[in-house]
Amino acid sequence: MRNNEENPVTAFTSGEEGVSGQSLMDQLRRRYRELGEATDVDIPIPGFKGELWGKYRLLGSEELDKIGKRVQRQYSGSAERLLFASADAILAACLGMYVPDPEDEDKLIPLDPEKTGTPIGYDERLIQFLELEVPNPPSARAILFQLFLDNDVALVGHYSSLSRWMADTTTNVNEEFLGE
């Protein structure tokens, strides 16, 4: 460090004001707290124009590792592995389907038409609700692929949004999709 440069650590601790009126140290502490507060994310399901959303939780490295190893055993091609690992991670992280609240479109509510207390997921309730055509007996993967109309790019893109959020839980992954 040159003699005329200020030590960045001194700037952190001296209370030097940032743009928002907080010291840089206060801003970093706030950001750190935000990272730990986010436990789930809402991501729009492609093609539904904001009318159907998936709510997802953060997956741990052990869960992702287990998914990756299982998919590696099942499939040999890199495209297949990407597709099925993406699908399985979406399924593992899913907390349910959500829709805009009719009384407040900025708020999402669980999709639970039977009032079971649990939102519809990638399950038989989604088949019935959307009248999806899936093989019998339906697997969660088959339901997911049918919801995405076998559009592999849309499915992997959806997982990409989820993955970006998992890497930084303060990221607003919906800005690029909704034009915000």
Identify the band that residue 35 occupies on the pLDDT scale cut at 50, 70 and 90. low
Q: Quote the pTM value.
A: 0.80
State pLDDT tens for residues 81-99: 999 999 999 999 999 999 9
Q: Where are the domains of the chain?
A: 41-165
Q: Which residue has the tokens 């940032």?
A: 18
Task: Measure Cα distances from 82 to 44, 64, 130 in Å.
Answer: 21, 13, 27
DSSP 3-state of 2:
coil
CA distance 165 to 38: 10
State pLDDT tens for residues 67-82: 999 999 999 999 999 9
Task: Measure Cα distances from 74 to 37, 67, 85 in Å.
Answer: 36, 11, 10
